[in-house]
Structure 1
Amino acid sequence: MKVRLWLTQFKTLSKEDKKLIASIKTIVGSKPFNLKPYKIATQHTSVAKSVKDGVKESNERLEYLGDAVLGLVVANYIFKKYPYKDEGFLTEIRSRIVSRDSLNLLARKIGVNHIVQFDSRRKTPNSHKSIYGNTLEALIGAVYVDQGFNRSQKFIVNKLLIPHFDIEEIISTTKNYKSKLIEWSQKNGKTTSFELLETKEKTHFKEFVTQVLIDDEPIAKGQGLSKKKAEQDAAREACISLEIE
């Protein structure tokens, strides 16, 4: 009955909707039962329309949901894959997989950049870096809303994790400069601290400037679109300055 109803609805869909359904099937591995959450998932806030009391219907709420589902599935996957590794190891690998840069690259690989709708005239350094990764998270949220957790898990594991991530390679190439710097400091009996120097207010985003101190002495500065990225950038500069391999 559900299949017959879906086929009846399919005949009345627009050309754009049919194209979106085909793209979703290719990316996710299954056709949507309800197209609406997927249409919202591909709609960036720059093109969102007000639906009620000035509230815009963009993909940000689905992004929030998808982020939570993705984090849980990835955590569960590596928890089972590495039963004897400690919390720090698991956290680091999960962070590498779900990082903004990683998701942005992955989204492009699987074709999310072809279905997202956004106002290209309003691009900023922040939106340019994160729009595709954010849309991928929103798409995961849409799958969860439409088909439930089990299908979301299959999508993440079978279509994202296994084909696109070599976890052993991630382990061998992990470069957490902040952790590396702190580890060096502890071995040499020194203290490391980070200090936020400035928050630059741009039109559509913020840029943070941070400095790293060793024994309260400024060593290097870094900047980024988040405090974490600014600290990592500062730590990287410090590692170079201190010649820490």
Structure 2
Amino acid sequence: MHRGVSRLVNIFRKRTKKDKRLITAIKTIVGSKPFNLQLYQLAVKHSSMARVNSRGLKESNERLEYLGDAVLGAIVADYLFKTFPFKEEGFLTEIRSRIVNRESLNTLGRKIGLNQLVEYDQNKKNALSHKSLYGDTLEALVGAVYLDKGYRFCTKFVLEKLIIPYFDINEIIRSNPNWKSKIIEWSQKENKDLKFEIVGVKAEKQHREFTAQVYIDDEPMATGVGASKKKAEQNAAQKTCEILKLE
């Protein structure tokens, strides 16, 4: 019923050139014209461009981003669960994380052209928002597609337009060493005292960037950054492995 009303509204609403460009872009990216264009207009609006509406709420893509993050995670989890019926939970969790992490989504967002669509205030853009700008917009787009066309269509969009064309699952598996496990194994073999410490946290709204430091026998080795403590530690462990030539 709601989608039917949206179609009728869209038929009689006069479209601007900007609206028409967005419709064309959404059709190209998603594979179908939007029913409710307002959802997609919101999906490409960064919080730096937010305007307060009549209810006193700032209108940006952050709520859609929240929804899209959950929907995307569920679709990828279901896909991996069915693709690898004999793999354990840890394996599935790790591969899903490699697909939907912030850096991966940010790269994918640029590849599908969201860098040409997202609206943001360049004067307010800083290092943290820059790193997640396109990935956040991609999650918001997934949220918009879910609300606009339903879960079944959204699943098809995510798998056929995002995951399968842009991710080689077998390559992800092959290039997915657990650097932290590798260096722990090395330290035990060499009788070395190994420590990981979180030495810094940068925060901007719901996004965080952690910095981890590796110590061997109390001597600082490499530092690493990531969107979670685990990712920061893995990054630091990888750099330490490179220093120690453990690749």
TM-score bin (small chain): 0.7 to 0.9
Task: Output the amino acid matched with 1:180.
Answer: K
Q: 1:148 maps to what in 2?
A: 150
Change (3 A) 1:184 1:84: farther
Moved more, 61-70 or 222-231: 222-231
Q: How far is the alpha carbon of 1:158 from its aligned partner?
A: 0.8
Are the equivalent residues in 2 in contact too, given 1:219–1:238 (CA < 8 A)?
A: no
Change (3 A) 1:244 1:144: same
Moved more, 166-175 or 187-196: 187-196
Structure 2 residue 170 is matched with structure 1 residue 168: yes
Partner Cα separation in structure 2 for residue 77 and residue 97 of structure 1:
12
Q: 2:120 maps to what in 1?
A: 118
Change (3 A) 1:225 1:171: closer
Partner Cα separation in structure 2 for residue 201 and residue 73 of structure 1:
28
Partner Cα separation in structure 2 for residue 177 and residue 124 of structure 1:
30
Q: Residues 97-108 of structure 1 correspond to what in structure 2 (within 5 A)? A: 97-108=99-110
Q: How far is the alpha carbon of 1:142 from its aligned partner?
A: 0.4
Q: How far is the alpha carbon of 1:58 from its aligned partner?
A: 0.7
Moved more, 81-90 or 226-235: 226-235
Task: Output the amino acid matched with 2:81.
Answer: F
Q: 2:221 maps to what in 1?
A: 220
Q: How far is the alpha carbon of 1:55 from its aligned partner?
A: 2.8
Partner Cα separation in structure 1 for residue 23 and residue 233 of structure 2:
42
Partner Cα separation in structure 2 for residue 113 and residue 70 of structure 1:
20
Q: 1:25 maps to what in 2?
A: 27
Structure 1, gaps ≥5 residues long: none
Change (3 A) 1:82 1:125: same
Partner Cα separation in structure 2 for residue 201 and residue 157 of structure 1:
31
Change (3 A) 1:195 1:74: same
Change (3 A) 1:62 1:207: closer
Partner Cα separation in structure 2 for residue 75 and residue 20 of structure 1:
30
Q: 1:197 maps to what in 2?
A: 199
- Quote the RMSD (CA, aligned, Å): 2.7
Q: 2:11 maps to what in 1?
A: 8
Are the equivalent residues in 1 in contact too, given 2:71–2:142 (CA < 8 A)?
A: yes
Q: 2:52 maps to what in 1?
A: 50
Percent of aligned pairs with the same residue?
Answer: 56
Task: Output the amino acid matched with 1:140.
Answer: V
Partner Cα separation in structure 2 for residue 31 and residue 47 of structure 1:
25
Change (3 A) 1:140 1:77: same
Match of 1:69 among 68, 71, 89: 71
Partner Cα separation in structure 1 for residue 104 and residue 141 of structure 2:
16
Q: 2:39 maps to what in 1?
A: 37
Partner Cα separation in structure 1 for residue 140 and residue 237 of structure 2:
32
SS in 1 for 2:150: helix
Task: Output the amino acid matched with 1:232.
Answer: Q
1:155-207, CA deviations, whole angstroms, 9 ceiling, x for partnerless residues? 001111111111111111124422432344456666643212244679xx875
Q: 2:139 maps to what in 1?
A: 137
Q: 1:235 maps to what in 2?
A: 237
The number of equivalent residue pairs is 241
SS in 2 for 1:121: coil
Q: 2:183 maps to what in 1?
A: 181
Q: How far is the alpha carbon of 1:105 from its aligned partner?
A: 1.2
Partner Cα separation in structure 1 for residue 193 and residue 150 of structure 2:
47
